[in-house]
A and B are shown apart, each in its own frame.
Chain A
């Protein structure tokens, strides 16, 4: 009986010990896809769904995603997005989306050290810092280091198109 009481007391003591403090940020406990949904990247999310990449980008990763805003998709020539979302163009859409993904967690401090990065599509994106602005190909990085459970998102203002 005394052993039981001791065991219970020990459990209570252990349970009451302060857990190691864990800093939170509101995005780091969600996947890239969950954060994209929560952050109103509606067009990107629709494209990721159409391309069948939800499972991949919800996986362990880690991935670095250059995420175009809805306004970035709106800058595409008329009809381009609608065409890409058609099932017969899925392969092309997958290639474009993979061109926005780099393997590993590449934070902004690492991005600015690079002149290029190899994407999941297989070809490189060019990276340039000029006048205090970071460009990925012709897109401007407008927000960086949105940390996710399985990588990081950098927000860009134009859609990247592989050659």
Chain B
């Protein structure tokens, strides 16, 4: 009840403040990503430290997964530096005070989301086939996917789903907002490279994809994933926290 009231208050404040006009967005070159359910050969359970834009302190979270894997949509699969993430579930409910985030989508439309809990850590991943794996794009960071509490726009409507690069994927409603985070894992550290970039994960009409097997490499080492159903589609955007200019 309290959280609902807080979220409503934040949403109201956001509406009053407005998702103020901003400079042009820089989502160009940032791809949409298909998120598929994943069965890993080796289940990783590991603690990492991270710090995101919603709270200034470093925190430790126990991860388990990968539960999901995201990669380029079919039309963008042949890029030289593909964006790929293994999605690790953040154990327990890692809740934050409900926070309003203004997101500028590709094309310039703006939407405000209220987010309140960290659900997944998105770990940059390379796939192995033959030879040296493709480089990770220099602008890429680790991300944390936060649960969207209020997926409504300023008029109280579901924001129009953007058209995707894959005509077979029909978006429904926004479920998660992925924001860049700093992350530490033993001696490895992953800085935020593109501090305003984000992805909005939309639920999609149920669709079984072909089962696909991948060899992957991320901060936890080599793994093999079996990818099954498409769960979400992430579209790129730029974000800022409302009231924290």
Q: Do the beta carbons of A134 and B222 come within 8 Å of each other?
A: yes
Query: In whole angstroms, how far apart are the Cα atoms of A22 and B187 in the complex?
Result: 11
Residues A112 and B46 in contact in the complex (CB < 8 Å), given A132-B224, A133-B128 = no
16 contacts between A and B (CB under 8 A): A21-B49, A23-B47, A25-B46, A28-B186, A108-B217, A109-B126, A109-B217, A112-B126, A112-B217, A129-B129, A129-B133, A130-B130, A132-B129, A132-B215, A143-B221, A145-B220
Q: Which 7 A-B pairs have the closest CB atoms?
A: A132-B215, A145-B221, A144-B221, A23-B47, A21-B60, A132-B128, A144-B222
Q: Write out the residue numbers on chain B whose beta carbons fall within 8 Å of the beta carbon of A113.
A: 132
Complex CA distance for A20 and B59, rounded to whole angstroms: 9
- Residues of chain A within 8 A (CB-CB) of B187 are 105
In the bound complex, what is the Cα–Cα distance between A20 and B187 (angstroms)? 15
With a CB–CB cut-off of 8 A, which chain A residues contact B133? 112, 129
Judged by a CB distance under 8 angstroms, whether B185 is at the interface is: yes
* A interface residue numbers (CB < 8 A to B): 20-25, 28, 105, 107-109, 112-113, 129-134, 141, 143-145, 147
B132 touches A112 (CB 8 A): yes
B214, B220, B221, most chain A CB atoms within 10 A: B221
Residues in B neighbouring A145, C-beta threshold 8 A: 220-222
Cβ of A20 and Cβ of B58 under 8 Å apart? yes
**Chain B 22-52 interface residues, beta-carbon cutoff 8 Å to A:** 42, 46-49
Among A22, A28, A129, the residue within 8 A (CB) of B131 is A129
Interface string of B169-194 (1 = CB under 8 A from A): 00000000000000011111000000
CB distance from A149 to the nearest CB of B (A): 10
B127 at the interface (CB under 8 A from A): yes
Q: Residue of A at shortest CB range from B183?
A: A23
Contact B222 A141 (CB under 8 A): yes
Complex interface: chain A residues within 8 A of B60 (CB): 21-23
Main secondary structure of the interface of A (DSSP, over half): loop
Please provide the chain B residues from 151 to 204 with a CB less than 8 Å away from any CB of chain A in the complex: 184-188
Contacts of B131 in A (CB 8 A): 129-130
A110 to chain B, nearest CB (A): 10
Q: In the complex, what distance in Å separates the CA atom of A143 from the CA atom of B42?
A: 9
Q: Contacting A129 at CB < 8 Å: which of B47, B132, B214? A: B132
Contact A132 B127, beta carbon cutoff 8 Å: yes
**Partner among B59, B129, B186 whose Cβ is within 8 Å of the Cβ of A21:** B59
Q: In the complex, which residues of chain B have a beta carbon less than 8 angstroms from the beta carbon of A131?
A: 129-130
Report the minimum CB–CB distance from B212 to chain A (whole Å).
12
CA gap between A147 and B219 in the complex, in Å? 11
| Selected contact of A23 from candidates B48, B214, B224, CB within 8 Å | B48
**Residue numbers in B under 8 Å from A134 (CB-CB):** 128, 222
The answer to whether A108 touches B221, judged by C-beta atoms less than 8 angstroms apart, is yes
Contacting residues, chain A, for B215 (C-beta < 8 A): 132-133
Q: What's the Cα separation between A112 and B126 when bound, in Å?
A: 11
Q: How far is the CB of A77 from chain B (nearest CB, A)?
A: 29
List residues of chain B with CB within 8 A of the CB of A22. 49, 60
Question: Which residue of the partner chain B has the closest CB to A20?
Answer: B58
Q: Which single residue of chain B is at the shortest CB-CB distance from A133?
A: B215
Quick check: B49 and A112 within 8 Å, CB to CB? no
In the complex the two chains form, is A25's CB within 8 Å of B58's CB? no
Separation of A105 and B47 alpha carbons in the complex (Å):
20
Residues of B within 8 A of A130 (CB): 130-131
Q: How far is the CA of A143 from the CA of B43 in the complex (A)?
A: 12
The docked-state distance in angstroms from the alpha carbon of A107 to that of B219 is 9
Residues of A within 8 A of B185 (CB): 23
The reply to whether A23 and B49 contact each other, CB–CB distance below 8 Å, is: yes
Q: Which residue of A lies closest to B124 (CB)?
A: A109
The smallest C-beta distance from B67 to any residue of chain A, in angstroms, reads 19
Among B102-134, those with CB < 8 Å from A are 126-133
Question: Nearest Cβ distance between residue A130 and chain B, in whole angstroms?
Answer: 5
